[in-house]
């Protein structure tokens, strides 16, 4: 194997390879997948001189540790966290040179949930259906990282971005999700629809890359029958039998049989990727476009 590679020393709770995903394959039952906080992943790539669609690592809560076989330039964005190289503090949100054999440690998130690690040249695992993303639902793409995994790297570009400060939103203290009602709001009582958009929910610890689960008032159904499976979209707010809304994220199933009471604006979903369990969630109704 080429010396353009990373060895995973500590994989962390859940670290996956992600890029912009594989849209356009829902008819095959394949979710879009891709980085949950797409702006953070794109910023990381920009800072190391990669194309926007280069593959990065997405960590969850407790980071990871990596050892490059040759000198690399890396950057960490997304959830703020401590970064070190061979035990010496290094910058978060700015390019860092990591010598060959040095240990790059991405520590636990100080706020938010997911950090993104970009390396100049990108993670060059084999693409599947045009994407290098790990899809936890379908099993496509590389498996979640484990200790000892070796990841090939691509060739770096001309150079990384040289900036003093980069704009980056802080992880939310309250998650506000704008929703368009429907398509199955008529399966719920008028009171349930009001409850969704006037009451406060909280992020459940059962949330994952498939969906952001909530805790709060149950939504009462007006129709008790079974709904035939139908297509699901990113941001769909599906209501399972317990009545608590679930917001579908990047690894969501492409079909489902529970009614969708509303759909979240896609531009609001990156904040959902950084919403820690327990923070408030409010659904804000907006007019159909």
- pLDDT digit string, tens, across residues 156-212: 977 666 665 567 777 889 999 999 999 999 999 999 999 999 999 999 999 999 999
Domain ranges of the chain: 5-152, 175-285
Query: 47 CB contacts (<8 Å, ≥6 apart)?
Result: 75, 77, 93, 94, 95, 118, 160, 161, 163, 166
Residue 163's pLDDT is: 63
pLDDT for 104-132, tens place per residue? 999 999 999 999 999 999 999 999 999 99
* pLDDT above 90 as % of the chain: 87
pLDDT for 66-79, tens place per residue? 999 999 999 999 99
Which H or E run contains 194? Answer: helix 190-198
175-285 is classed CATH 2.40.100.10:
yes
Residue 168's pLDDT is: 73
Considering only CA atoms, which of 248, 259, 197, 247 is closest in space to residue 222? 259
Task: Report in angstroms the alpha-carbon separations of 18 from 86, 158, 187, 199.
Answer: 26, 23, 36, 34
Average pLDDT of the segment spanning 90-99:
95
pLDDT for 39-55, tens place per residue? 999 999 999 999 999 99
pLDDT of residue 1 exceeding 60, the answer is no
Residue 27's pLDDT is: 87
Quick one: DSSP state of residue 37? S
Query: 139 CB contacts (<8 Å, ≥6 apart)?
Result: none
**Residue 119 is encoded by which pair of tokens?**
């390396």
Task: Report in angstroms the alpha-carbon separations of 122 from 41, 55, 129, 240, 272.
Answer: 11, 5, 18, 39, 25
């Amino acid at each position: 194997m080429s010396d353009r590679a990373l060895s995973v020393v500590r994989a962390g709770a859940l670290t996956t390879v992600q890029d912009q995903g594989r849209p356009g394959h829902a008819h095959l039952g394949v979710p879009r997948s891709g980085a949950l906080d797409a702006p953070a992943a794109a910023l990381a790539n920009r800072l190391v001189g990669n194309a926007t669609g280069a593959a990065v690592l997405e960590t969850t809560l407790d980071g990871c540790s990596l050892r490059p076989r040759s000198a690399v330039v890396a950057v960490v964005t997304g959830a703020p966290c401590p970064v070190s190289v061979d035990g010496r503090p290094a910058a978060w949100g700015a390019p860092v040179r990591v010598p060959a054999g040095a240990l790059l440690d991405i520590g636990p998130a100080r706020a938010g949930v997911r950090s993104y690690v970009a390396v100049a040249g990108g993670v060059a695992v084999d693409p599947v259906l045009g994407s290098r993303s790990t899809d936890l639902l379908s099993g496509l793409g590389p498996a979640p990282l484990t200790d000892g995994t070796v990841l090939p790297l691509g060739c770096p570009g001309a150079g990384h971005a040289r900036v003093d400060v980069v704009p980056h939103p802080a992880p939310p203290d309250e998650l506000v999700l704008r929703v368009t009602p429907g398509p199955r709001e008529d399966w719920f009582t008028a009171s349930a629809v009001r409850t969704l958009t006037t009451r406060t929910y909280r992020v459940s610890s059962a949330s994952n890359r498939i969906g952001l689960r909530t805790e709060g008032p149950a939504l009462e159904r007006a129709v008790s029958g079974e709904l035939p499976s139908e297509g699901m979209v990113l941001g769909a707010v599906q209501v399972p039998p317990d009545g608590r809304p679930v917001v579908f994220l990047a690894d969501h199933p492409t079909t489902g049989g529970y009614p969708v009471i509303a759909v979240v604006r896609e531009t609001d979903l990156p904040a959902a990727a950084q919403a820690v369990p327990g923070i408030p969630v409010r659904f804000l109704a907006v007019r159909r476009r």
